[in-house]
Amino acid sequence: MATLREIRRRINSIKSTQQITRAMKMVAAAKLRKAQDQIFAARPYAYKIDEMIRHLIFQLEFVENPLLAIRPTQRVTLVVVTADRGLCGAFNSHIIKRTLRQIDEHRDKEVSLVCIGRKGYDFFRTRNYPVEHRYINIYNQLEYPIAQEITAYLLQKYAREETDMVEIVYNEFKNAIQQTIVVEKYLPLTADEFSGELKYVDYIFEPDKITLLDSLLPKHLNLQTWRILLESNAAEQGARMTAMESATDNAGELIQDLTLHYNKARQAAITKEISEIVGGAEALKFE
């Protein structure tokens, strides 16, 4: 049986672990707040740009844009959005598993990967998957230019016909304890995405409708990338919060068990000592 000192040492070590997990939980909660605020802040912009594109598509008799054109799919790019860091439950491993399944689904095509977040990158790089580009350590300072950079990269690949289709695998933020994995088609776009109730407005378009649509669509993609980064970031913080909360709870349970154990052992030791003393005294009586 473990000695008293050993048990005490274990209790102390678990207590300090618990302190760390509790702190991590609180940090994650604060970051989640910020991530949610960013999601809310992006909504008016998303609404407006969508409305403008809808007006344009609605008023164009003939929509022709390379981003809206479907071509035979030979090469697929999968964008894998994971976290930079671990300790957030199954957040990263679920994404990786889903990506592996998606790679398998595209086995008749040529698949390449773009990794956002260190965890996914580490996994696929070490297993010799065709990772052609990566964006790591981006979540600490999440600003719009990162989304623009990623979009520019994907658009360039698509324009050069180095890829025929781009899909993104990411965690969508439901609420603090729930994330859903989403596989979303990113490119090409479809005009159907921009349908909805609309009232005809006799706009003056400057320079002209086609030029406007040509420059609006990449901005729309910038925003999609941004939205996905924000969703994934919020989902990550939520997952970490939940994981750290249950870690803190588990540590609490362990401490309780060990304390009980410790008290029992201490009492047993005292009882033993007393009976030894009593026994010794009894023995002396008869001398």
Partner 1 sequence: MDENRLSVTITTPQKKWVLDDIISVTAPGVMGSFQVLSQHAPLMTQLEIGEIKVEKEGSTELYATAGGFLEVLKNNVSLLLESCEKGLEIDSARAENSAERARNRLKNRSDEIDIPRAEMALARALNRIRIANKVK
- Enumerate the active-site residues: 88
Token readout for 53 is 């594109």
Please report, as a single letter, which amino acid is at residue 31. K
Stretch near partner 1 under the rule CB under 8 A, chosen from 19-27, 35-43, 103-111, 247-255: 35-43
Smallest distance, Å, CB 91 to partner 1?
A: 24
Stretch near partner 1 under the rule CB under 8 A, chosen from 76-84, 141-149, 169-177, 274-282: 141-149
Q: Return contacts of 268-274, CB within 8 angstroms, 24+ apart.
A: 269/4
The C-alpha R_g of the chain, in whole angstroms, comes to 29
Residue 112's beta-bridge partner residues?
Answer: 77
Token readout for 259 is 């304390």
Q: H-helix or E-strand containing 66?
A: none
Which of positions 214-243 make contact with partner 1 (CB under 8 A)? 215-216, 219, 222-223, 226
Token readout for 3 is 């000695």
Which of positions 96-135 make contact with partner 1 (CB under 8 A)? none
Tell me if 91 sits within 8 A of 239, measured CB to CB. Answer: yes
- Asked if residue 201 binds partner 1 (CB under 8 A), the reply is yes
Q: Which of 88, 150, 144 has its CA nearest to residue 119?
A: 88
Burial category of 29 from C-beta neighbours within 10 Å (exposed 0-12, middle 13-18, buried 19 and up): middle
Q: How many residues bind partner 1 (CB under 8 A)?
A: 31
Neighbours of 67 (CB within 10 A): 17
Smallest distance, Å, CB 236 to partner 1?
A: 19
Nearer to partner 1, 93 or 156 (CB): 156
Tell me if 109 sits within 8 A of 74, measured CB to CB. Answer: yes
Interface residue with partner 1, options 17, 73, 148, 250 (CB under 8 A):
148
- Asked if residue 65 binds partner 1 (CB under 8 A), the reply is no
- Asked if residue 197 binds partner 1 (CB under 8 A), the reply is no
- Asked if residue 212 binds partner 1 (CB under 8 A), the reply is yes
Nearer to partner 1, 188 or 205 (CB): 205
Smallest distance, Å, CB 256 to partner 1?
A: 46
Please report, as a single letter, which amino acid is at residue 222. N
- Asked if residue 203 binds partner 1 (CB under 8 A), the reply is yes
Tell me if 188 sits within 8 A of 217, measured CB to CB. Answer: no
- Asked if residue 44 binds partner 1 (CB under 8 A), the reply is yes
Tell me if 98 sits within 8 A of 91, measured CB to CB. Answer: no
Stretch near partner 1 under the rule CB under 8 A, chosen from 34-42, 66-74, 98-106, 254-262: 34-42
Nearer to partner 1, 54 or 75 (CB): 54
Nearer to partner 1, 6 or 143 (CB): 143
Specify the 3-state DSSP secondary structure of 176: coil
What's the maximum distance between 2 C-alpha atoms anywhere in the chain? 119
- The footprint of partner 1 (CB under 8 A) covers 38, 41-42, 44-46, 48-49, 52, 55-56, 143-144, 147-148, 152, 201-207, 211-212, 215-216, 219, 222-223, 226
